[in-house]
């Protein structure tokens, strides 16, 4: 029978994106960038967010595309304009190309959904984030803040994730993907999932001890203790990443996080008692059906 460590390693690799998923995403995003370029003068564009950082979990959703508008577009979309003017136009442009039912306006971006080639019922989606440069970083529309625009520096987020991963024996990104998978499995108590990644920068403390269950047990317990704190943008620019967690969400998240930490403790004890099969099933209850039993 598969050991617990082997099961976590297998689970981790099951959460990695396949070549086909990456090819699909790559083809679609190039096309989207060109549609944008046909309508907004381009300064730069690139993939960003958790997809770029390899901290995205499966199923593959919400690949972030940063589209940086040229300064010539400022008059039309930025200077004195509310963020909705730019987001409306991005929505209109994408809806014209792909159909209104595929396109949805969000707080900071416009999302776009495609069926996965060859697979019924599965979709891949993109978040198109329009941006302007600001000094060495960017500002993006944000309809949920009074200022209307949020400063961000995705490069700093990527550098911090890479540094954390190196300090954690190359296990940090894999563990973040597993933790995000738990969040999905439990109905997304923690919103946005980027908050879990931000907390993991502080709370997955190196060195990696080599024991996944112990690391997860202590991570879930620490997040439960500290989910009511304010968690700033790691680049020190945007609003607190925890700004969507209201009191009700926090209370619900605390309960589920404590349950998760307790469930890992129970599973560890099952393993110690030689009940390996039961331990694996307990981890599957926590992390979902991609967690292997054999």
Ligand X SMILES: Nc1ncnc2c1ncn2[C@@H]1O[C@H](COP(=O)(O)OP(=O)(O)OP(=O)(O)O)[C@@H](O)[C@H]1O
- The residue ranges that bind Mg ion (CB under 5 A) are 49-50, 62, 64
241 touches ligand X (CB under 6 A) = yes
Which residues inside 72-131 make contact with ligand X, applying CB under 6 A? Answer: 127
192 touches ligand X (CB under 6 A) = yes
CA distance 290 to 294: 11
Which string of DSSP letters, residue by residue, matches the chain? Answer: ---HHHHHHHHHHHTSPPHHHHHHHHHHHHHHHHHHHTTS-EEEEEEEHHHHHT---SS---EEEEEEEPGGGHHHHTTT--HHHHHHHHHHHHHHHH-GGGEEE-SS-EEEEEEPTT-TT-EEEEEEEEEEEETTEEEEE-TTSTTSEEEE-HHHHHHHHHHHHHHTTT-HHHHHHHHHHHHHHTT--SSSTHHHHHHHHHHSPSSP-S-HHHHHHHHHHHHHHHTTS----TTS-SS-TTTT--HHHHHHHHHHHHHHHHHHHHHHHHHHTT-HHHHHHHHHHHH-TTS---
239 touches ligand X (CB under 6 A) = yes
Phi, psi of 85 (to 5 degrees): -65, -45
Among 17, 28, 50, 149, binds ligand X (CB under 6 A): 50
Query: Which residue, 49 or 271, is less far from Mg ion as judged by CB?
Result: 49
Stretch that binds ligand X, among 17-25, 130-138, 148-156, 245-253 (CB under 6 A): 148-156
49 touches ligand X (CB under 6 A) = yes
Q: How far is the CB of 240 from ligand X (least distance, A)?
A: 7
238 touches ligand X (CB under 6 A) = yes
Q: How far is the CB of 167 from Mg ion (least distance, A)?
A: 23
Query: Which residue, 173 or 217, is less far from ligand X as judged by CB?
Result: 173
Among 11, 29, 45, 62, binds ligand X (CB under 6 A): 62
Query: Which residue, 202 or 278, is less far from ligand X as judged by CB?
Result: 202
Query: Which residue, 200 or 267, is less far from Mg ion as judged by CB?
Result: 200
Q: How far is the CB of 275 from ligand X (least distance, A)?
A: 34
Partner in contact with 238, chosen from ligand X, Mg ion, none, beta carbon below 5 to 8 Å by kind = ligand X
141 touches ligand X (CB under 6 A) = no
Among 56, 173, 177, 284, binds ligand X (CB under 6 A): 56
Place of tokens 């879930």: 220
Query: Which residue, 171 or 197, is less far from ligand X as judged by CB?
Result: 197
CA distance 132 to 41: 11
271 touches ligand X (CB under 6 A) = no
Residue pair 265/217 in contact by the 8 Å Cβ criterion: yes
Binding mask 215-234 for ligand X (x = CB under 6 A): ------------------x-
Rg from Cα positions in the chain: 20
Kindly list the residues in this chain that would bind ligand X in the complex (CB under 6 A).
49-50, 56, 62, 64, 127, 150, 152, 154, 157, 192-194, 197, 233, 237-239, 241
């Amino acid at each position: 029978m598969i050991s617990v460590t082997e099961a976590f390693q297998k689970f981790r690799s099951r959460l990695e994106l396949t070549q086909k998923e990456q090819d699909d995403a790559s083809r679609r995003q190039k096309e989207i960038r060109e549609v944008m370029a046909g309508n907004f003068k381009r300064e730069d564009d690139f993939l960003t967010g958790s997809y770029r950082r390899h901290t995205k979990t499966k199923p593959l959703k919400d690949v972030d595309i940063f589209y940086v508008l040229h300064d010539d577009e400022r008059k039309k979309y930025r200077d004195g304009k509310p963020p909705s003017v730019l987001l409306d136009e991005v929505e209109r442009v994408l809806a014209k190309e792909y159909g209104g039912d595929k396109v949805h306006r969000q707080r900071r971006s416009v999302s776009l959904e495609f069926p996965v080639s060859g697979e019924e019922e599965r979709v891949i989606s993109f978040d198109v984030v329009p941006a302007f440069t600001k000094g060495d970083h960017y500002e993006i529309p944000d309809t949920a803040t009074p200022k209307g625009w949020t400063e961000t520096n995705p490069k700093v987020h990527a550098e911090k994730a890479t540094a954390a991963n190196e300090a954690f024996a190359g296990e940090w990104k894999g563990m973040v993907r597993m933790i995000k998978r738990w969040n999905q499995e439990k109905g997304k108590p923690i919103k946005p999932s980027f908050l879990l990644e931000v907390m993991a920068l502080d709370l997955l403390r190196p060195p990696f001890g080599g024991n996944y269950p112990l690391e997860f047990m202590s991570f879930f317990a620490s997040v439960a203790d500290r989910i009511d704190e304010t968690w700033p943008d790691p680049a020190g620019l945007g609003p607190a990443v925890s700004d969507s967690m209201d009191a009700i969400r926090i209370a619900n998240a605390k309960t589920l996080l404590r349950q998760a930490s307790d469930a890992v403790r129970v599973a560890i004890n099952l393993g110690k008692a030689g009940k390996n099969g039961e331990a694996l099933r307990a981890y599957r209850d926590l992390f979902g059906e991609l967690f292997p039993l054999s």
